[in-house]
Structures are given as structure tokens and as C-alpha cells.
Amino acid sequence: MTAIYRSAAAHRDVERWCTDRLARWPVSHRTMALTTCAGRTHVVAAGEEAGPQQLTPRVVVVPGTNFNAAASLPLVTALAARWPTYAVDVPGQPGLSSAERPGQHRLVRYGQWLQEVLDEISPGPTVVVGHSLGGGIALACDVPQLIGRVLASPAGLTRLKVTGRVLAATLPWLARPTEARSATLLRQMHGPDRQPSAELVTWMNLLARSCRSSLAPAPLPDVILARSRRVTNVVATGEHDVFLPPSRLTSPASRHLGVVVDTVPDAGHLVVEEHPETIVTMVAALIGTGRA
């Protein structure tokens, strides 16, 4: 296990940013802390008034690397308007969960962690929405109540692509973070002509000063990917995703999951930030028909 924060003060700064943003979020919600195999797990629940708990499918959001529930509010807000929605902070990622991250076989161990979480918060029909690292975690998770996954730019199927332009934006951001450098990096992860929000720029600047970022995980073993076909999987990525463009996901998504990749026009790697309504549409189609 490896701690992610540079100091105790850095840990407090990240926790303060998350709690402050959740406190200012106008959507009715509650928080809970679970004890899991990966340590303390923080969960934000919203939209629980959307329908009878035993009848309405629940949606569980698993954010990507360097993100958490507080940094994913545009997506959580859009989903919670339709369904009971639960956003988890992944242990070992910056947020309000445990600071320790698993060592070897990270995605497999995270899959076991998510199984525990789902059994606790969503024992009935459940759709998991996973972005980037969260998509790989979702693929590694298999529980009876899972009826489908919406996987946005998911890890776990293939290795991420890292271009020279991304490195040129990342290295200065890590070496001496500023808001300008954070914005430059975020623009690499957005679609053309889209500007990152001020709150996201502030978050990324805090992140670089406070945390040791984790590397992208390796693809999941074939046996786990084969098991993941038990339910409907929807795979989507931004047309301009710098890490997992459509051309990189098409073959593994077809080979391992038997699905065609949905390309979201004008979007980058942060498709869940740029087009949360598209993710809502995919979840609705999956719940309504079993296909999207």
C-alpha cells in the first residue's frame, strides 16, 4: 500500500476542498463512510427521492484518476435528477476516502473493493458509471445486482496513449504547479475550443501541490474481461480523447466485450465533465432496453 499525499497538511487541504465544495452543492444529498477491504470509503448519495428504493435502479459513479465525488458534481447532478445516485471516492485517489492505494494487481483489488461497496449501498438493480480508472474498476467488479455498466474512456481494456503534447503539459504542471499550467493540462483533456471550469482548474492546481499522482493501470486479465460480458456494457469515448481515442478502444472493446464504441463528438478525455447529459442518455437507454 502507498500513501498519496505529500504531507499531513496537504491531506487536510484536499479534504477541505472536497468538503467545502460538497457543502456548497445545492443538490439535496447525504454522505456516508463505509469500512471496506481498501480502507475507509466515502460515498455521496443524491436523488434518493427519485423513486421507490426497491423498484428504481440505482446508479453508482466511480470517478477516474485524480477525481472524486466532489470533483464530479456536473455528472452526479445530472444523474441524480433521474435516479438514486451514489458517487464513491476511490481509496488511494485524492478525496475523502483512505489515502492508501493498493499495490500489485490494482484493478483486480479495486474490483473486489467495489463489490463490497455495492453490496452495502446498492443491493438492488444497479448500473455502474465508470470513467477512466473508474471504468477499469467497474469492469473488474461482478455482483448479482449489477445490470449494466456505462464505461466512459475506460481503463482496463488497453494501455493509455500518451502523446508528446500531453507530456509537455504534464511535466511543468508536476514540477511547479500554477493555475495557468493546470488550465493548460486540462485543455489537453477537453475537446477543441472548450475551456475548463474555474473550480476544476483550482482542483488540479491543488492536486499537483498535494499529491503523488498514480500511473495508469495495466489492462485487466482476459478471464476477468470475459466475465464482464455477463451484463450489458456501453463503452464511450470522446472524439478528441488524448489517452483513449476511439481508434484505440475500438478493437479491444469489440474483442473483449463484443460492443461498438460510441464516439462523443467534440469531447475529450473528460467527456463526463463536458457532456454529462450524454452519459444520462446512455444510462437511460441501458435501463430501459438493456442496450444503448
Whole-model pTM: value is 0.95
Q: How far is CA 124 from CA 34, 56, 143, 237, 288, in A?
A: 18, 9, 10, 28, 16
What number is the average pLDDT over the span 177-191? 96
The yes-or-no verdict on residue 2 having pLDDT over 90 is no
Q: How far is CA 254 from CA 66, 171, 235, 251, 278, in A?
A: 28, 34, 10, 5, 21
The yes-or-no verdict on residue 201 having pLDDT over 80 is yes
The yes-or-no verdict on residue 52 having pLDDT over 60 is no
pLDDT score of 3: 77
37-60 exposure pattern, b = at least 16 Cβ within 10 A, e = fewer = ebbebbbbbbbbebeeeeebbbbb
Please name the residues in contact with 124: beta carbons below 8 A apart, sequence gap of 6 or more: 53, 54, 57, 58, 145
Cα–Cα distance for residue pair 99/184, rounded to 1 Å: 27
Compare 233 and 50 and report the one with higher pLDDT.
Answer: 233
Superfamily of chain region 2-161+215-289: Alpha/Beta hydrolase fold, catalytic domain (3.40.50.1820)
What number is the average pLDDT over the span 124-139? 97
Cα–Cα distance for residue pair 149/61, rounded to 1 Å: 10
- State the chain's maximal CA–CA distance in angstroms: 50
What one-character DSSP code corresponds to residue 216?
P
Percent of the residues in the chain that have a pLDDT greater than 70, as a whole number: 96
The yes-or-no verdict on residue 178 having pLDDT over 70 is yes
Q: Which amino acid is at 142?
A: D
Compare 215 and 126 and report the one with higher pLDDT.
Answer: 126
What number is the average pLDDT over the span 16-32? 98
Cα–Cα distance for residue pair 79/62, rounded to 1 Å: 13
Cα–Cα distance for residue pair 133/147, rounded to 1 Å: 20
- 213-253 residue pLDDT tens: 787 889 999 999 999 999 999 999 999 999 999 999 999 99
Strand-pair partners of 33: 42
What number is the average pLDDT over the span 279-285? 97
261-273 exposure pattern, b = at least 16 Cβ within 10 A, e = fewer = bbbbeebbbbbbb
The yes-or-no verdict on residue 158 having pLDDT over 80 is yes
249: nearest Cα among 170, 140, 132: 132
What number is the average pLDDT over the span 253-277? 97
Cα–Cα distance for residue pair 6/123, rounded to 1 Å: 37
